[in-house]
Amino acid sequence: MMKIGANKKETLLNRLMRVPFLLSGIRMLSLAILLVMVYYSYNYRGINGVSVSDPLMYTNIATFLFWVLWLMVVVLSVLLFGRMWCTICPLGWLHGVFSMNCLKKDYPAGLKNNFLLIVFTFLVLFGAMSLNVHRFPDMTAKLILIFLIIVIILGSIFKKRVFCRYMCPIGGMLGLYSRTGPVELYVKDNNICGKCANTQCINGDTKWYKLTMKKAVLMYKTEKDGCPLGLVPNDLEDKSACDLCMNCFEVCPYKNLNVRYRKGMPDIAVNRPQVGNALFAVILMGLVSINFFKVFPKLRGGIMAPADYLIAVIGGFTAPAAELFKAIYGSVLLPLLFVGAISYVTLLITRANIMTVDISKESDIPKELAKVKKGAGAAPDKPGFAALFTAAAFSLIPLIFSAHIVLALVKLNTKLKYFPYIFMDPTGVKTYLSFNVFKNFEQPGVIIALAQLKWIITAVIAAGFAFSLIAAKKITDTTMQSSAKIGKKGFAVFAAAALIMAVLYLLTVYNWLFVMGM
């Protein structure tokens, strides 16, 4: 076997992840916690004699851990660990176990896109908002069970983790945010991969072990899957596609794969249009923003006014149908129109500049256009609508991420102090009664006072805007690489879009925290 990297010191993170059974132990522990959550919540909704409909929202182990702690911490974790949640995710791990040992069918080619991811994300968030799943332990337990059943069924039928790749809302969200994140998988030495005969990182590995006890000999095998997303670790251009599950890291016999910290959002600018990912980014922007504007009713009312008008004019909407219509309008149609308009304006600018290139002699023809003339391919400064739509959506990712961080910070700031109580009383019934009926304890308060929090939140949005500008610059440099003039105009359009969104977020923060005081 080739000897590699003997003199290269591994970082603490990599050394930790190579501790035998540590990662699998954490994954099993997280699955056990998920099952405990279901156990203590499946039969709990209200409390006899208490008129409040959702008393256990913050005191039950499932509603607290799922909606308050995990969902918020997972967003914040991208800042330090990229999408490393997927490294320890119990669903992904369980999916992998089933997909390695069951039918191993191919996933239909027609479904290898983001359609189901978008539908799934919308349904989960719409369900959470309209059915108030997040308020009730029994409904949260059912949602967890639905996810578990889906990954078991998909894992039993298909090879590879198709849920992670094509359906998981959290994976989709982490994939987008981690374009700005600081952690990536990398190959230590490409030559090693070039000479590798078995490519275990792609194909997986099977090892036989022999256990001898006196005369008894037990042979057993361990089987490890290769990349469960069907990626080739040595050839990963866009690292956000990798969910850092660490299969390749664990199975590579040469320890040639590592994770490392990185700077400069290298995955934000892509060479090819990624319409599916861009669509998902746009819808995520809609979902996060509509949630964000909830605390500024006048602004939200203004944004939603056309939907209310249409509902009144068309008539005949039941209450749930009206809610669904408003959700589709606010989270899908409106952000699509916004980003579509930005892309179209950029397209017009790009084309206008190309039409006005002044060519008086052959040598004036720009190099890239000359290539097109000879049929050598499209000029990179003539991106089509799909490329510009991807570019526009990706340039807004840091800003969307910052708005999501704010939502997470606010939630954790107001509710994190409930954390110790879920261990004392996992169902949350006694805790609720102690706080609200017997008044033995005081309700937990906030962690950071409003006076400081409002400035932290303002700074987070301002940072999101600044990073969106940096992203827009990187993206226009890549998408419109051969003309500085077009690149500058494209940047101006993307920057204006980021400014509009940042102003709306900041207006909301100002009204909510500086004027109304929460």
Residue ranges binding ligand SF4 (CB under 6 A): 85-86, 89, 91-92, 163-164, 168, 170-171, 185, 227, 229, 231, 233, 242-249
Shortest distance, position 177 Cβ to ligand SF4, whole Å: 12
Query: Which CB atom, from 225 or from 368, has the smaller least distance to ligand SF4?
Result: 225
Shortest distance, position 244 Cβ to ligand SF4, whole Å: 5
CA-wise closest residue to 70 among 13, 143, 21, 122: 143
Cα–Cα distance, 164 to 231 (Å, whole number): 13
b (16+ CB within 10 A) / e for 425-454: bbbbbebbbbbeeeeeeeebeeeeeeeebb
Residue 223 has φ and ψ, to the nearest 5°, of -120, 130
Shortest distance, position 242 Cβ to ligand SF4, whole Å: 3
Shortest distance, position 172 Cβ to ligand SF4, whole Å: 8
Cα–Cα distance, 410 to 404 (Å, whole number): 10
Residue 160 near residue 107, CB atoms below 8 Å: yes
Shortest distance, position 93 Cβ to ligand SF4, whole Å: 7
Query: Which CB atom, from 256 or from 508, has the smaller least distance to ligand SF4?
Result: 256
193 to 10, 80, 93, 202: CA distances (angstroms): 19, 28, 26, 11
Query: Which CB atom, from 92 or from 398, has the smaller least distance to ligand SF4?
Result: 92
Query: Which CB atom, from 247 or from 343, has the smaller least distance to ligand SF4?
Result: 247
Query: Which CB atom, from 121 or from 476, has the smaller least distance to ligand SF4?
Result: 121
Query: Which CB atom, from 17 or from 475, has the smaller least distance to ligand SF4?
Result: 17
Query: Which CB atom, from 37 or from 248, has the smaller least distance to ligand SF4?
Result: 248
Query: Which CB atom, from 57 or from 248, has the smaller least distance to ligand SF4?
Result: 248
Q: Which amino acid is at 306?
A: P
CA-wise closest residue to 170 among 286, 74, 259: 74
Shortest distance, position 282 Cβ to ligand SF4, whole Å: 20
Which H or E run contains 216?
Answer: strand 216-224
Query: Which CB atom, from 172 or from 383, has the smaller least distance to ligand SF4?
Result: 172
As a residue count, the chain comes to 518
Ordered DSSP codes for 362-377? GGGS-HHHHHHHTTS-
Q: Which residue blocks in 66-168 are alpha helix, DSSP H?
A: 71-81, 85-88, 90-101, 115-130, 137-157, 162-166
Shortest distance, position 418 Cβ to ligand SF4, whole Å: 24
Shortest distance, position 1 Cβ to ligand SF4, whole Å: 21
Cβ-in-10-Å burial (0-12, 13-18, 19+) of 177 comes to: buried
Shortest distance, position 118 Cβ to ligand SF4, whole Å: 15
Shortest distance, position 164 Cβ to ligand SF4, whole Å: 3
Shortest distance, position 249 Cβ to ligand SF4, whole Å: 6
Query: Which CB atom, from 168 or from 270, has the smaller least distance to ligand SF4?
Result: 168
Q: What is the dihedral of CA 341, 345, 346, 349, to 10 degrees?
A: 170
CA-wise closest residue to 474 among 267, 285, 275: 267
Radius of gyration (Cα) for the chain, nearest Å?
A: 26
Q: What token pair was written down for 277?
A: 């990912």
Q: For residue 217, what are the β-bridge partners?
A: 212
Q: What is the biggest distance separating any 2 CA atoms in the chain, rounded to whole angstroms? A: 91
Residue 480 near residue 380, CB atoms below 8 Å: yes
> Which residues 6+ apart lie within 8 Å of 135 measured at CB?
53, 54, 57, 63
Shortest distance, position 387 Cβ to ligand SF4, whole Å: 25
* CA end-to-end span of the chain: 63
Query: Which CB atom, from 96 or from 273, has the smaller least distance to ligand SF4?
Result: 96
Shortest distance, position 285 Cβ to ligand SF4, whole Å: 20
Query: Which CB atom, from 174 or from 369, has the smaller least distance to ligand SF4?
Result: 174
Query: Which CB atom, from 69 or from 324, has the smaller least distance to ligand SF4?
Result: 69
Q: What is the dihedral of CA 340, 345, 350, 355, to 10 degrees?
A: 130
Cα–Cα distance, 184 to 175 (Å, whole number): 12
